[in-house]
Structure 1
Amino acid sequence: MEKQLTDLTIFEGYQNRQVILNYYQDDDDLWKRDGFHFASIQLANEKLLFLKKDGSTSQIALQEYKTIASNSDFQNYYVFHYDAHTRLEIYFP
């Protein structure tokens, strides 16, 4: 079950961890997967910024997603909905 998030500062609490990004289209067609370690997360300019230890940054443009929800069935699991058939699932193992 998903619960819509309104306060995205929850992501800034994740530090020195790994993240897995799964991109889906056409409901369940996984078309891209990315995983990496990061030092911290910041919210800035409508973006979720993953700051890596090597100084590089990965980002997610939040304005691209209509809703962002937490998945109550799994801890540290979030779903960013682009539309009814396209989504980004983020998991912090």
Structure 2
Amino acid sequence: MSASAKYEIWLQLVRGEATIGQAATSAGVDRSTIIRVRQVAKDGALAALAASRPGTPGKSARDVELEEANAEIDRLGEAVKELAVKLTLLEKKGGLD
């Protein structure tokens, strides 16, 4: 499905012109696809609005995406460290073979 088709579906949902079921039937896709389109559109709009600052130059979509990716990398790094500590403790207790 093209980006413009997804956008049109999103507009129909926002305007109340179609339900999720109607949009799915019209597009020939599963309801979960329409739900995902709606969520992606919402997330994209929120990211764009968060990056936009009236009267000041905003961050580009690429900069916002890069910041989000770096935050995810940091989060995953912390999770790996936490799991490594747990693994070490389990190995010391003899809980793992």
The interval holding the TM-score normalised by the smaller chain is under 0.3
TM-score (norm 1): 0.23
Answer 1 or 2: which has greater helix percent: 2
The higher-RCO structure (CA 8 Å, 6+ apart) is: 1
TM-score (norm 2): 0.22
